[in-house]
Structure 1
């Protein structure tokens, strides 16, 4: 994990949740944490690691993740053992 990933990880675990994180940064963090990306139809995407899955719709037309997506990404990271 590089310094940008660590910065995104810290932002994901901030309280209150931020709705201003770039989705691309979150996606890169999940990949750096070892998650495999499985593309779905349209904007659907699934991340899998060690039998744990997280399902998302990539935000569009905005580039920022919604608060619920930040929360889901945080929960997924906790389940796979990644914490700041």
Structure 2
């Protein structure tokens, strides 16, 4: 099993300790690029894909690098809507 497959499998299991860095790595492997809106965006990050008009937006975690479960679920839903995951 490749590193990418392991990361996808871990993401799909919705672990309570999935980190921001893991999520960024996963999104980049699917062709998304991080797009900051400058200094005024605060902790909000946006990921866009060249072939898609949709974007994935969420806030960076505070005090911890762990991503909340509701964010993981929303990202999974966005990936499915974008046709990246089944």
For the aligned pair, the TM-score class normalised by the smaller chain equals: 0.7 to 0.9
Pairing partner for 2:22 from 25, 34, 37: 25
Segments of 5+ residues of structure 2 without an aligned counterpart are: none
Q: TM-score, normalised by structure 2?
A: 0.79
**CA RMSD of superposed structures (Å):** 2.0
Task: Identify the residue that residue 4 of structure 2 maps to in structure 1.
Answer: 5
Higher gyration radius (CA): 2
Following superposition, the deviation at residue 59 of structure 1 comes to 0.4
Runs of 4+ aligned residues of structure 1 deviating over 3 Å after TM superposition are none
Pick 1 or 2: higher relative contact order, CA cutoff 8 A, min separation 6: 1
What's the CA shift string for 1:7-57, capped at 9, x where partnerless? 22112222xx32210111111110110112111312110112211111110
Segments of 5+ residues of structure 1 without an aligned counterpart are: none
How many residue pairs are counted as aligned between the two chains?
Answer: 81
Q: TM-score, normalised by structure 1?
A: 0.80
Task: Identify the residue that residue 80 of structure 1 maps to in structure 2.
Answer: 82
Distance change (3 Å), C-alpha of 1:51 and 1:5: same
* Residues 1:63 and 2:65 are matched in the alignment: yes
